[in-house]
Structures are given as structure tokens and as C-alpha cells.
Copies of this chain bind each other. A is one copy, B any other.
Amino acid sequence: MERTSKVISISEAIQRFVGDTCASLAIGGMHMHNNPMALIREVIRQQKKIKRLITSPSGSINADLLIGSGLVSEVLTSYVGLEHLGLAPNFRRGVEKKTINLLECDEPFLVYGLQAGAGGLPFIPYPAGLELTDIPRVNPELYRYTTDPYTGKQVMTAAPIKPEVALIHCQEADPFGNAIFKGSEFTDRQMIFAADTVILQVEKVVPNLAEKYGSTKVNVPGFLVSAVVEAPFGCHPTSSHGYYTYDEGHLKGYLKACKDTESYSEYFKQYVTGIAEENYSQQIGAEQLEKLRQGGGVK
């Protein structure tokens, strides 16, 4: 008997593994790096509704584009922004105009919560001092308190996070879902361990991945992955660590396009809803992609 490959097309992956209303969707990548944009664009094309969107400690265009698509009801996040390029326009507008519900949290909440979700832990208690912000006050559903049985003191807790689906970008995977992060892992590996269903997009499917890098570098075990999608340059306009850098011009263009409805819907048509994901690279242009491939470190 042969092992079953998990490599399928991007449209099939989203069709099969994301429900029409997704209870909670975690999206990998941090700032303008390793965002699983190919999968995210396809989620928008297929108009999957997202009840709760969960970002890494620093969401970027991955979250902002989804929010801008109008598919997201609420967001659990500690940051959505474009780092040195500015604020995230759709996130900002959504929160200010209350078209999305915000579950305000901090970075450790996401890290502890995913850890708890991954390990079957009922919660994670915070180190002392982190209860001093105003965050627990505005998120009493998720931030709670219990007794430290060793000192008798009250401690703040993070709730477990168990995303229904996680969309993650890895640089390379074998056909069975075993995968690597060439550069930083961010919280992507935690999302993989915590989610019920994981869809991986990769730059490249590599049959003998462990031989190529050594097995200790391959720290995503295939049995946690439901589908592998090959999507070269699939992080564009964000970077893929070790493959290519982010497209600053495109990101700035995005920010500009977000300024009014018309130009935003033009952006949407041009890069998301108006084209199949298979044609996205072409839309950006081979020359531009090659330039981005020249940038970025740690090849």
C-alpha cells in the first residue's frame, strides 16, 4: 500500500476544510512575514463567514484583508497593523465603527492560550504584574482569575484557544504534511498544534524533506495537517522567510486603496475576487517577484 498524499488544490482545500461559517479561524504569520495570503484570498473568494478570527500576536494584512472583506464577525488579537508602514485601515475602521467585535488581548494571552489549547490544559495562569493593564477589564469573558494553590494569591488566567481551522504558511512540506519553517516560527507552530484542522500552504512540496534538512528541523508532524497546498509566492505581498522579502510598494498601495470604498473594491477585484489564485503571481508579474526573491536573508 502507498501513503496517501495530502497535496490538493487551493480551492479544494478551502472548500473541503473550511465550513461556510467557520467558528474560529486562526491565521499564521507575523507582521508582514509568512502570512498565508493565498489561502486567505481563497477564503474570501469562497465567501466563508468567520465567526471568530484569531491572529498571531501581530496580525497584518492577513487580518486586515479578511476584515475588509466583511466576512469577519469578531477578532481575537493583540495587534493588527502594518508595522513601520502604518495602521491597518480595515481593522481600525471596523473597531471604530463597531462593524466587528473586538476581543482585546495581549501577546501572552495568545501564546498561553494556544499552548493550553494544544496541550489540553484547562487554562494558563499569568505571571504576576500582567493584570495591571486595563485589558482584563474590557475582556472579562476571556481574562479570569483563580487561586494560586501554592501561595494563596489571586492570579489572572488565559483561556485555552482551540481554533476550528488554522491557515498556515510553511516554506516546505513533504506530501504527507510534515513541514518546516525555514526562518522564524512565530506562533504558527502553536496554531498548528492547537487547531482542529490545519491547512498548510507551502512554497514547495519536497518529497524527502527530512533528508534535506535533518528531521529535527522538520518540527511540524504531518498527522496534524489536513491538506497541503503548493502556492509559490503565496505569501505575497508579505514575505516568506528564506524565500523572498515583502513587497513594500504593494503594501503601500494596499493602504492607499483602503482609503475609499471604490479603490478598495478595485484592489479586491484586481487581486482577490476578480482572479483565480492560480493567476495571482501573474497579476504581480514575474519581474517583480524575482526582485523580491533577491531580497530577504537566510536563504
- Residue A123 lies at the interface, judged by CB distance under 8 Å to chain B: yes
Q: How far is the CB of A136 from chain B (nearest CB, A)?
A: 12
- Residue A9 lies at the interface, judged by CB distance under 8 Å to chain B: no
Interface residue range, chain A: 20 to 34
| Least CB separation from A141: chain B residue | B150
Q: Is the CB of B122 within 8 A of A148?
A: yes
- Residue A296 lies at the interface, judged by CB distance under 8 Å to chain B: no
Q: Is the CB of B144 within 8 A of A123?
A: no
Query: What does the 1/0 interface line of A156-167 toward B look like (CB < 8 Å)?
Result: 010110000000
| 15 pairs, CB–CB < 8 Å, chain A vs chain B | A120-B127, A120-B128, A121-B124, A121-B125, A121-B127, A122-B125, A123-B125, A144-B149, A145-B149, A146-B146, A147-B147, A150-B157, A150-B159, A183-B216, A216-B298
Q: Which residues on the B side are within 8 Å of A153 (C-beta)?
A: 122
Q: Which residues on the B side are within 8 Å of A126 (C-beta)?
A: 121
The distance in angstroms between the C-alpha atoms of A128 and B119, with both chains bound, is 11
- Pick the residue among B122, B151, B216 that contacts A184 (CB under 8 A): B216
Q: Is the CB of B123 within 8 A of A149?
A: yes
